[in-house]
Structure 1
Amino acid sequence: MNANILFAWELGEHLGHVSKFLPLALALRERGYRPVFAVRDTHSAEVVLGPHGMPWLQAPVAIGQGAAGPALNYADILLRCGYASPVRLAGMLRAWQQIFELVQPVLTVFDHSPTALLASRGRAMRRVLLSPGFFLPPRQTPFPPILPQSVAPDSLLACDTAALAAIQAAQQRIGMAPLATLPELFDADLRLLDTHPELDHFGARPEEEYCGGFYLDATGVPAEWPDTGRPRVFAYLRPGQRGVDRLLSQLRMAPCDALIYAPGLTAQQAARFANSNMRFTQELTQLRSLAGQCDLAILYASHATICACLAAGVPMLLLPQQPEQAMLARRVAELGVARVYQDDTAPLAQVEEALADNGMRTAAQAWRGSHTPLAAPALADRLSALLQNPSN
């Protein structure tokens, strides 16, 4: 067979976007397809895909500084990622079209890749959207706000109008048929929200299909803990992010054994915090190994890692760093399985309170027993059927 299936990742950061694709790509490779990736971050690709011999290309990205301040809605995100300039957007569209010409995919799976999705319109391929709620906004105009505070409807509509006008101008420039409405950007043969309705950033949507959270839980080094009898804390953090240094400086005083995965943290930086009960690792940690062993996970609120910890029944303390993560953190906290980190409260107190919260632990264990995502082999079979039946 050896037909190419492209996985497109254009926007967003870190390991989650590419790692969630890996189990599906491996399952498709077992079925005779050839997975190829277009990735925003080649470092993440090397960490996740390199050991499996998966080929990848650099995804086209906009170069230049976007507008200051937080985005109002998804259309505003587009404007800050190159869409404010029809010429810049046209260049990205041409670049994606060249990737499609080079790879010749029979099917492309898109995650947070609006420009790739736009460039793929009209091409002879199947198109599948596989994204959490934030990256697949509701079919409405204007797109809903992504800030906790109230946003004037006129401001949201202005973002949508500007984004659609720029898209239409860029499409005209390169000879594409123009979109009539902004929600049409997300048309596809199959739309799947790879999350649970309870975790959808915009709330449960009965009209959409949910397949549970996709994440990479079996790859990496199993978590190892000293046999001290103290509570066990796993932390997945990013150095330099808001609140991380203060948290680490106090976590070393907590009555627990902590394993810290902080990619990019230098040995010198780690030495500032490490002590007998706090250990750092630069190895990708196998999230599956947290089940039944870990008492608390401290995370910067990435969707994939939250889903993995929920599947392992691990309660969480979440440090969201931007609006998407803050929206998700609020949803998870509402389920009673996590707390949201408070900048104005001592980190040590928050860790100790989270460890002592038996209700949060019980809720996390209950989630583990009641929510099962669609397995990668089952989704691979569904995509194979989509390819084999032109009438679908």
Structure 2
Amino acid sequence: MARILLGWELGAHRGHLVRLAAIARILIAQGHQVDAALQNMDGAAALFPEGVRLWQAPLWPRMIVNVTRLDGPPVATMGDILVRLGLDREEAFEGLIRAWDSLFIAISPQSVISDFAPAMLRAAWGRIPSIAVGTGFECVPGDLAAFPSLNRQPAAHDEAAILAQANAALARCSRPAMLGLPALFAADTPLPGTFRELDPYGAMRREPPVSPTLAGPAPPISDGQGEEVFVYGFERIMADAALWDGLAQSGLPVRVHVPGASAALQERFARLGFAFAPDPLPFEEIARCARLLVSHGGHGFTSAALLAGIPHIITPYDLEKQAHADHVVALRLGGQVPLMAIKPAPFAESLKRIHADDALVARARNAAPGFHAQMARPMDKAILAAISGR
């Protein structure tokens, strides 16, 4: 059996840990030895199975600050995001490659599995067989000449100049040059886990996606009898948003789950008349009670909403969530408004109108079987097949 290294570099949500921990359990059950180099160790010890050795992953230089407060122009491409995180610093990229080299020497993996870990993929390229997992947004096709715009706006940074800097760093690390910056995401086996309809690179991708990763079983299709507005969010971004006042002014029945919500935020929910769910609800229960969903547009929640056949209002605050919102709106299965642009009174009126839209509810339910049909290629089986060489 093989020693396999799991790596996670970018992205701030817990879903990366959950996905890699699930992969680790599958690999250990097959007799493999597993190491995991992680960006953030918070909660990792409880999630990963016994026997997995945990390592600190090399950190992109600007991950050390609050990424929601990074300065710079609005981003339009994955390249812009990487520059914002430090790819414009040639010496920093060289440091990332050399740090992964040190981990490779210490661990001696026969394969690596990347979850949004482009520096690890580039360090392993041509030396260690690699698998890339994640959402469609996180698994950029590595053969693109340049990163495409994901919001129809021009790139904020000169990608050719960044590519030249990155290639200079790679040369000092005895690595081959990249033909395009998307080669940072090149893997021997790319396994983007998403629905075709949510994939921001779907029109450019050669390999078929695997089924998206969910927090639990695929939910059943809603019977359309629920009446609640179910809201999923998180405090770091949403605590002071006008979203809550807009929800209250709608007069609709609202249930909220915000992981780790502070006592102050929970008191605010109570004053506004919301039902608060302190623990995550199974999506089956959400599907039974909800007529309308509101969230920031995370991939897992958005995928579950499509499977459940419930209309979804997305309040995006970054490029990835905006891409998901654009796709849901294009499918005519929900709506969107940027989180920071919400004004309570207009938002409340729109919410009431959408909640009363029987045609929208029926359209979401009718679309759900098509998403269930895409759950037939689970990521775990694809990973095991790739490792075994099948």
Q: More deviation in 243-252 or 5-14?
A: 243-252
Q: 1:7 to 1:251 in 2, by over 3 A?
A: same
Matches within 5 A, 1:206-217: 207-217=206-216
Which residue of structure 1 lines up, in the alignment, with residue 32 of structure 2? 33
Which residue of structure 1 lines up, in the alignment, with residue 131 of structure 2? 128
Structure 2: 5+ residue stretches without partners: 220-224
Which residue of structure 2 lines up, in the alignment, with residue 248 of structure 1? 244
Matches within 5 A, 1:101-250: 101-124=105-128, 126-138=129-141, 139-149=143-153, 151=154, 159-205=158-204, 207-218=206-217, 231-241=227-237, 245-250=241-246
Code of the residue aligned with 2:89 in structure 1: it is S
Matches within 5 A, 1:292-303: 292-303=288-299
8 Å CA contact 2:145–2:179 kept in 1: the answer is no
Matches within 5 A, 1:3-14: 3-14=2-13
Tell me, yes or no, if structure 1 residue 270 matches structure 2 residue 261.
no
Tell me, yes or no, if structure 1 residue 58 matches structure 2 residue 56.
yes
Code of the residue aligned with 1:17 in structure 2: it is H
Matched residues in 1 for 2:349 and 2:44: separation? 37
Question: 65, 72, 75: which is aligned to 1:71?
Answer: 75
Q: Secondary structure at the match of 1:135?
A: coil
Matched residues in 2 for 1:288 and 1:36: separation? 34
Matched residues in 2 for 1:169 and 1:203: separation? 31
Matches within 5 A, 1:298-317: 298-317=294-313
**1:40-79, Cα deviation, whole Å (9 max, x unpaired):** 23336467x2588865433222234765121232222222
Matched residues in 2 for 1:252 and 1:53: separation? 48
Which residue of structure 2 lines up, in the alignment, with residue 363 of structure 1? 363
Matched residues in 2 for 1:81 and 1:276: separation? 38
**1:334-365, Cα deviation, whole Å (9 max, x unpaired):** 11221102635633223322321222322322
Q: 1:258 to 1:333 in 2, by over 3 A?
A: same
Q: More deviation in 88-97 or 28-37?
A: 28-37
Q: Secondary structure at the match of 1:259?
A: strand
Question: 80, 84, 88: which is aligned to 1:84?
Answer: 88
8 Å CA contact 2:87–2:166 kept in 1: the answer is yes
The alignment's TM-score, normalised by the length of structure 2, stands at 0.83
Matched residues in 2 for 1:277 and 1:214: separation? 33
**1:154-197, Cα deviation, whole Å (9 max, x unpaired):** x67x6321221122122223333333433433332212221122
Give the Å deviation of 1:120: 1.3
Question: 286, 293, 296: which is aligned to 1:290?
Answer: 286
Structure 1: 5+ residue stretches without partners: 223-228
The alignment's TM-score, normalised by the length of structure 1, stands at 0.83
Matched residues in 1 for 2:45 and 2:335: separation? 33
Give the Å deviation of 1:329: 0.4
Code of the residue aligned with 2:104 in structure 1: it is F
Code of the residue aligned with 1:61 in structure 2: it is L
**1:82-107, Cα deviation, whole Å (9 max, x unpaired):** 21112111111122223333333332
8 Å CA contact 1:198–1:204 kept in 2: the answer is no
Code of the residue aligned with 2:151 in structure 1: it is L
Which residue of structure 1 lines up, in the alignment, with residue 222 of structure 2? none
8 Å CA contact 1:231–1:255 kept in 2: the answer is no
Matched residues in 2 for 1:312 and 1:10: separation? 31
Matched residues in 2 for 1:118 and 1:382: separation? 22
Q: 1:354 to 1:26 in 2, by over 3 A?
A: farther
Tell me, yes or no, if structure 1 residue 347 matches structure 2 residue 321.
no
Tell me, yes or no, if structure 1 residue 387 matches structure 2 residue 387.
yes
Code of the residue aligned with 2:86 in structure 1: it is G
8 Å CA contact 1:93–1:118 kept in 2: the answer is yes
Give the Å deviation of 1:267: 0.4
Matched residues in 2 for 1:367 and 1:18: separation? 30
Matched residues in 2 for 1:164 and 1:118: separation? 13
Code of the residue aligned with 1:29 in structure 2: it is I
8 Å CA contact 2:76–2:150 kept in 1: the answer is yes
Matched residues in 1 for 2:265 and 2:58: separation? 33
Matched residues in 2 for 1:59 and 1:354: separation? 44
Q: 1:360 to 1:205 in 2, by over 3 A?
A: farther
Name the Cα RMSD after superposition: 3.1
Q: 1:296 to 1:269 in 2, by over 3 A?
A: same
Give the Å deviation of 1:206: 5.9
Matched residues in 1 for 2:105 and 2:310: separation? 44
Q: 1:206 to 1:234 in 2, by over 3 A?
A: same
Q: Secondary structure at the match of 1:142?
A: coil
